[in-house]
Amino acid sequence: MHGRLVSVGLASAVFLQNTLLHAYLSCGALPDARSLLRGEINEPNVITHNIMMNGYAKLGSLSDAVELFGRMPRRDVTSWNTLMSGYFQSGQFMDALETFMSMHRSGDSLPNAFTFGCTMKSCGALGWQEVAPQLLGLLTKFGFEDDPDVATAIVDMFVRCGAVDFASKQFSQIKRPTIFCRNSMLAGYAKSYGVDHALELFESMPERDVVSWNMMVSALSQSGRAREALCMAVDMHNRGVRLDSTTYTSSLTACAKLSSLGWGKQLHAQVIRSLPHIDPYVASAMVELYAKCGCFKEARRVFSSLRGRNTVAWTVLIGGFLQYGCFSESLKLFNQMRAELMTVDQFALATIISGCSNRMDMCLVRQLHSLSLKSGHTRAVVISNSLISMYAKCGNLQNAESIFTSMAERDIVSWTGMLTAYSQVGNIGKAREFFDGMSTRNVITWNAMLGAYIQHGAEEDGLKMYSAMLTEKDVIPDWVTYVTLFRGCADMGANKLGDQIIGHTVKVGLILDTSVVNAVITMYSKCGRISEARKIFELLSRKDLVSWNAMITGYSQHGMGKQAIEIFDDMLKKGAKPDYISYVAVLSSCSHSGLVQEGKFYFDMLKRDHNVSPGLEHFSCMVDLLARAGNLIEAKNLIDEMPMKPTAEVWGALLSACKTHGNNDLAELAAKHLFDLDSPDSGGYMLLAKIYADAGKSDDSAQVRKLMRDKGIKKNPGYSWMEVKNKVHVFKAEDVSHPQVIAIREKLDELMEKIAHLGYVRTESLRSEIHHSEKLAVAFGIMNLPAWMPIHIMKNLRICGDCHTVIKLISTVTGREFVIRDAVRFHHFKGGSCSCGDYW
């Protein structure tokens, strides 16, 4: 065509020259276009230059476009738009905005709709929320706010800047929003308001494209609703919408989250049938699916079939092996990746560092740290965060804090990592320093600090933290928040406070969350309200293994062994597979209820039927069960057969039963083993001293107490506490600090006189036990709670025999019900008897 123009003498016509220049550039012939411009176009106009600039930008020569723009004798709005578009397409968003500002200052051209569209896209890409309103004001001044394309760009800009409220307001003013506009709002709602808001908009859309469907599949998968994501993909297919690579990637990721190998294989087959070739992202999702399902042979086969294996695929496969604890295999893959790709990106390195954290191998830790330094990745925030976590888990907080201090840029994960590191070693003060030092906090950070307080027994500080959290505008408590709070209420036995927090979960819509409901079941159980726990359990439509375990454990703590077995058997009938904790719970319930034959049956079942290897907790329960029932020799034989070294809990259970059944010889043997373990707990020493004292061996008893003093072991002080009028009252044996102490002691003396008429005799040896903490709490409860209300008391040690007898008798003379949780189990006193049947 060029030759023809020359031969007919039309090659000098500017219009035809510009058209020819555009044709060369459209064909990617940049050298020919450049030759034409320099050699044949003698009088280029602004259109000529604009065409050449556009060609430079699209063909990857943006610097030439910038240079040409600088030489142009005259520019129009298209010139400016072309340069801005070039900057935007190459990811240089700041330069695009600066070009717009230069255009505005120069005044030689007025912006048009395209100008504002490109400018707002750049602003959105940068997330400059403070600049977005200024652009809106400027385009309104020029009268472009009603332009459909500009209106769509406004919504998209505010969504990308995180100002979804403002985007929603603008969206509502558009009479006929385009699909692109609606898709932008879908993304904004899913990210800021939750997937349910996005679903409402999705359902109301008059038409949807593949992007709309893909957004919802991805949003559901990312929000933990993987099953719904797969159903959405099926619905998409049934409505005739062609699934693309993005759909398959999100769907396969959802399968990986569900560990649904069947669904995944069907999708794999569909991918082979539907797509001309498998791109790296779909293949990486397949590798992730098979790796997370433990099918490493299939994962490797997909991985090996990839033509150009990218770092994503390598990282996913390495992560899959790490998830299943195959650290050696993942390390081999990592080294193979280094050999093939020569370079390792920050995400692959962060993955292997995270896996190393669980190995506690300081030699390997230092090697990976050195590799990070050599590759220059320590400047990457994700690498520094992984190194902080790795050193923290290995107990080297000095190195962790050193890395944190040296970081040029820190994110919320960095601060939260240091907070968590110090809270794990019990340094709550230091953890709080990092929390207070953060400029921005999210719900994860708040939960970390809240969990630190609750975990280390500072429940009141934790509740204050929750109150402060509620005042934060942009922080909404999630299920983790409430699970943590319910654990705190359970530990304190704070019934009323727990009920108030349940009210909060109703307000925020989390009362139906399975994890939250499980926490409520545990809280009610630990607060002595086992009937309410059972009601909540029955109302739970989707019971997971944690739900079943929580209910079995609750009945176990209350000594209701038959009910615990009933729940366990029901769990088996419903197809739930019991785990390690399930068997600990059911064996513990048998132990507390004296169900010896049932306990033996379930102990045999755990390995035979469910391939659960018996651990220390299972053996401890069985020793306790046999010994309590008087089968001391059988219990001792079981200890001798244990495949692991018996712990203090095991020998302590045998020692306690020896005292109950009067076997002093075996008690001495159990005590010897217990003392050899150098346990700091005073319980075993006190038990043996008591055994000697009861047998009239005062010298031996004194010798045990002297051994305690020599080892620096002090008797654990007994505490009891209870909640009255939203305040927790704490009592200590012989305590005189309570403001009502005189009235409490007078009331207790009055009660002791009443039960004396029932035959209770206070011997001289029991005089020191008259003011035990639980007795003081009983007297206080009778004084301050209405007669119809059960009195709930918590205690940090096991209840002693005298207190147990006294409270049974007090329940008779007062007609009151007492629910006492000691260190091992619950005791429900009513009408002169206890739910434990004097078997504790």
Share of the chain above pLDDT 90, in %: 42
For tokens 């494209």, what's the residue? Answer: 209
What DSSP element (H or E) covers 834? strand 833-834
Confidence band (pLDDT; 50, 70, 90) for 542?
confident
What DSSP element (H or E) covers 828? strand 826-830
Give the residue, 574 or 771, on which the prediction is more confident.
574
What is the fold of 615-715?
A: 1.25.40
Which amino acid type is present at position 778? V
Q: Give the residue ranges of DSSP H helices in 223-376.
A: 226-238, 245-258, 261-274, 280-292, 296-305, 311-323, 327-341, 346-357, 362-375
Lowest mean pLDDT among 24-38, 179-193, 355-369, 420-434: 355-369
Q: Flag whether pLDDT at 406 surpasses 70.
A: yes
Give the residue, 104 or 374, on which the prediction is more confident.
104
φ, ψ dihedrals at 469, nearest 5°: -60, -40
Number of H helices, E strands in the chain: 46, 6
Sequential DSSP letters for 160-174: HTT-HHHHHHHHHT-
Whether residue 652 contacts residue 674, with contact meaning beta carbons closer than 8 Å, is answered with yes
Residue 641, pLDDT score? 92
Q: Give the residue ranges of DSSP H helices in 493-529.
A: 495-507, 514-526
pLDDT in tens, 255-271: 988 888 888 899 999 88
Q: Flag whether pLDDT at 768 surpasses 60.
A: no
Whether residue 358 contacts residue 391, with contact meaning beta carbons closer than 8 Å, is answered with no
Residue 774 CB coordination number (10 Å): 27
Whether residue 651 contacts residue 674, with contact meaning beta carbons closer than 8 Å, is answered with yes
Confidence band (pLDDT; 50, 70, 90) for 342?
low
Residue 360, pLDDT score? 67
pLDDT in tens, 58-81: 988 999 999 999 999 999 999 999
Residue 769, pLDDT score? 60
Residue 713, pLDDT score? 74
Using DSSP bridges, classify how beta strands 833-834 and 826-830 pair: parallel, antiparallel or unpaired: antiparallel
Whole-angstrom Cα distance, residue 412 to residue 417?
Answer: 8
Using DSSP bridges, classify how beta strands 818-821 and 791-795 pair: parallel, antiparallel or unpaired: parallel
365-391: average pLDDT: 83
Q: Flag whether pLDDT at 764 surpasses 60.
A: no
pLDDT in tens, 552-600: 999 999 989 999 999 999 999 998 999 999 999 999 999 989 899 999 9
728-752: average pLDDT: 88
Using CB atoms within 10 Å of the CB of residue 741, give its burial: 0 to 12 exposed, 13 to 18 middle, 19+ buried: middle
Confidence band (pLDDT; 50, 70, 90) for 759?
confident
Residue 146, pLDDT score? 81
Residue 766, pLDDT score? 47
Confidence band (pLDDT; 50, 70, 90) for 341?
low
Share of the chain above pLDDT 70, in %: 97
Q: Flag whether pLDDT at 166 surpasses 60.
A: yes
Whole-angstrom Cα distance, residue 505 to residue 523?
Answer: 14
Task: Quote the mean pLDDT of the chain.
Answer: 87
Q: Flag whether pLDDT at 833 surpasses 50.
A: yes
Confidence band (pLDDT; 50, 70, 90) for 47?
very high
Residue 105 CB coordination number (10 Å): 8
506-525: average pLDDT: 91
Residue 282, pLDDT score? 86
> Which is nearest to 63 in space by CA: 105, 36, 30?
30
CB-hemisphere CA count at 13 Å for 1? 8
What's the token pair of residue 725?
Answer: 């009028």
Residue 433, pLDDT score? 93
Using DSSP bridges, classify how beta strands 833-834 and 791-795 pair: parallel, antiparallel or unpaired: unpaired
> Which is nearest to 194 in space by CA: 445, 479, 414?
479
Q: Flag whether pLDDT at 425 surpasses 70.
A: yes
Whole-angstrom Cα distance, residue 619 to residue 39?
Answer: 93
Give the residue, 513 or 692, on which the prediction is more confident.
513
Q: Flag whether pLDDT at 365 surpasses 90.
A: no
Q: Flag whether pLDDT at 654 surpasses 50.
A: yes
**Would the pTM of this model clear 0.85, i.e. be above it?**
no
Using DSSP bridges, classify how beta strands 826-830 and 791-795 pair: parallel, antiparallel or unpaired: unpaired
Q: Flag whether pLDDT at 765 surpasses 60.
A: no
Whether residue 254 contacts residue 246, with contact meaning beta carbons closer than 8 Å, is answered with no
What's the token pair of residue 242?
Answer: 């062609």
